[in-house]
Amino acid sequence: MWLIFKKEFKELLRDKKTIIFMILLPLLLFPAIFGVGIFFMSNAAEKAENEILKYAIVGEAYAPDIVESFAEASEKFELVSVDGAFENESDYATLIKNETLDFVLVIPDTFDADILASGQHKIGLYLNDAGLNKVYGRVAEIIDVYMDEFQLAAFTELGLNEAQQEALLKPISIEKQNVADDREVWGERIGGFLPYFIFILCLQGAMAPAADLGAGEKERGTLETLLISPMDRYKLVLGKFFTVSAAGIITALITVSSMAVWGIVLSQGMAIEFVVEVMSMIGIVDFVLIFLMLVPVVAVFAAILLSLSIYARSFKEAQSYMGSLIMVVIFPVLIAMMPGVELKGAWVWVPLTNVALAMKELFKGTMDYFALFGIFTSTAVIAIGLIMFCIHWFNKEKVLFR
């Protein structure tokens, strides 16, 4: 059996395709995607922040101070004179759409510093808000100065002290006290999609070798020679089974650790502390438990994949069978992500879903460790059943010589 495992694994490692999918892709592609994404995001944000905005003001005569402030901030704003073509809202829209202007500020004729007499002022800001932009924030930055000034003047005139001012601005404030600790909060968020991610990765990683070890062997014509060697069938199956399982687990481990490492590298500084904090909260035991639960799950995947693969006539056929298996796996995991589904009652007995839920609980630190035993056992029983089926399948002439 180990002889077969050793040979299959050696062959696996020599396959460029497998190496790319199993190691290189998770190692480089994910950080590449994240990196490029973050690069473009931060680039765009920076651009929106530093771009000189072209603007026009309607009713500038009513608020000369504001006009003056915009003119002073010439490194951020550029006044464009658009005399004449400037009557109503549709004109603003046209000018903004053809990119003559970035925004138009409309100051009402009632604008006045004495807000107690005039009431609230409404300044119109016309802009194209469809894409990423910081127009509102940058305009508000300048207007806010006047807002505070007016507010203060009004309070002074009314003769209110600071406490009264605060109460007037916000008479009642609700203060939220979260009894869940950080771990539970983050566990709920990360622990929800982590099993989904890991399951798919395990399946993906096991898929290529499984197709190769079953249907591939059939296609190459090596299966028959293998079958007539004096090696017990169950040993053949187990050798192949362990290879497929190992490939699945290795892929998942590499991907997760690659994500963790690159995550730390890319989000330097403050984020490191956060990651370290989360990691330290979870603890080694829980990590080991998560890994242990993964073992029977991968065994289930490997047994199913190997059975499909040996049934298929060719590599291609095997791959199309396996493609549909992904949908089957995603479903129970998606259920675990739905709000309201908890590791209670009947859900403890739903295969895959229970493991996904248990992983989440472990992440959150709210795991009922007795349930773990049941989940582990039931998944292991399913896995062993499937392996037995796989061995039985390997003994059927109808399957081997299709």
Partner 1 sequence: MIEITGLAKRFEVENPKKLSEQEKKDPRLKGRYFQSVRDVSFTCQSGEVLGLLGPNGAGKTTTLRMLSTALRPDSGSVTIDGQDVLANPNVARKKIGFLSSSTGLYGRLTGRENISYFGELYGLSKSTINARIEEMADLLDMQSFLERRAENFSSGMKQKVSIARAVIHEPSLVVLDEPTTGLDIMATSTVMEFIQRLKDKGTPVIFSTHHLDEVQALCDKVTVINQGETVFNDSLAAFSALSDGQMHKSFLKTLSTESQEKSNVVNL
Residue 15 interacting with partner 1 (CB under 8 A): yes
List the one residue out of 329, 359, 331, 350 whose CA is nearest residue 188.
Answer: 359
What are the φ and ψ backbone dihedral angles of 133, each rounded to 5 degrees? Answer: -155, 160
CB of 355 to partner 1, least distance (A): 34
Residue 7 interacting with partner 1 (CB under 8 A): yes
Residue 170 interacting with partner 1 (CB under 8 A): no
CB of 10 to partner 1, least distance (A): 7
Size of the site for partner 1 (CB under 8 A): 23
Residue 90 interacting with partner 1 (CB under 8 A): no
* Binding residue for partner 1, selected from 49, 68, 157, 224, defined by CB under 8 A: 224
Residue 228 interacting with partner 1 (CB under 8 A): yes
* Binding residue for partner 1, selected from 225, 273, 338, 340, defined by CB under 8 A: 225
List the one residue out of 200, 190, 377 whose CA is nearest residue 282.
Answer: 190
CB of 211 to partner 1, least distance (A): 15
Residue 401 interacting with partner 1 (CB under 8 A): yes
The residues, any chain, with a CB within 8 Å of residue 100's CB and separated by 6 or more, are 54, 80, 82
Residue 2 interacting with partner 1 (CB under 8 A): no
Q: How far is CA 224 from CA 106, 157, 169, 302, 399, in A?
A: 83, 98, 84, 22, 12
Which amino acid, residue 63? A
Residue 222 interacting with partner 1 (CB under 8 A): yes
Handedness of CA 193, 199, 200, 201 (dihedral sign): positive
* Residue pointed to by tokens 């009314």: 158
Handedness of CA 68, 70, 72, 78 (dihedral sign): negative
The residues, any chain, with a CB within 8 Å of residue 90's CB and separated by 6 or more, are none
What would the two tokens of residue 93 be?
Answer: 């829209």
Residue 231 interacting with partner 1 (CB under 8 A): yes
Binding region for partner 1 (CB under 8 A) out of 11-19, 197-205, 259-267, 313-321: 11-19
What would the two tokens of residue 192 be?
Answer: 């929800």
* Binding residue for partner 1, selected from 122, 220, 313, 316, defined by CB under 8 A: 220
d(CA 294, CA 297): 5
Both ends of the chain: CA-CA distance in Å? 25
Residue 3 interacting with partner 1 (CB under 8 A): yes
Residue 226 interacting with partner 1 (CB under 8 A): yes
Residue 397 interacting with partner 1 (CB under 8 A): yes
What are the b/e assignments for 280-302, b being 16+ CB within 10 Å? Answer: ebbeeebeebbeebbebbbbbbb
Could you give the string, one character per residue 232-271, with x where binding to partner 1 holds by CB under 8 A and - elsewhere?
x---------------------------------------
CB of 31 to partner 1, least distance (A): 29
* Residue pointed to by tokens 């490194």: 75
| CA 245 to chain CA mean position, Å | 26
Residue 1 interacting with partner 1 (CB under 8 A): no
d(CA 398, CA 246): 28
List the one residue out of 243, 199, 207, 205 whose CA is nearest residue 322.
Answer: 207
Considering beta carbons, is residue 153 or 400 the nearer one to partner 1? 400
Binding region for partner 1 (CB under 8 A) out of 71-79, 214-222, 327-335, 363-371: 214-222
- Identify the bridge partners of residue 57 per DSSP, sorted by sequence position: 105
Considering beta carbons, is residue 7 or 316 the nearer one to partner 1? 7
Residue 229 interacting with partner 1 (CB under 8 A): yes
CB of 329 to partner 1, least distance (A): 28
* Residue pointed to by tokens 């399948």: 393
CB of 238 to partner 1, least distance (A): 14
Considering beta carbons, is residue 7 or 97 the nearer one to partner 1? 7
* Binding residue for partner 1, selected from 160, 227, 278, 337, defined by CB under 8 A: 227
CB of 230 to partner 1, least distance (A): 4
In the complex, the residues that contact partner 1 under the rule CB under 8 A are 3-4, 7, 10-11, 14-15, 220-222, 224-232, 397-398, 400-401
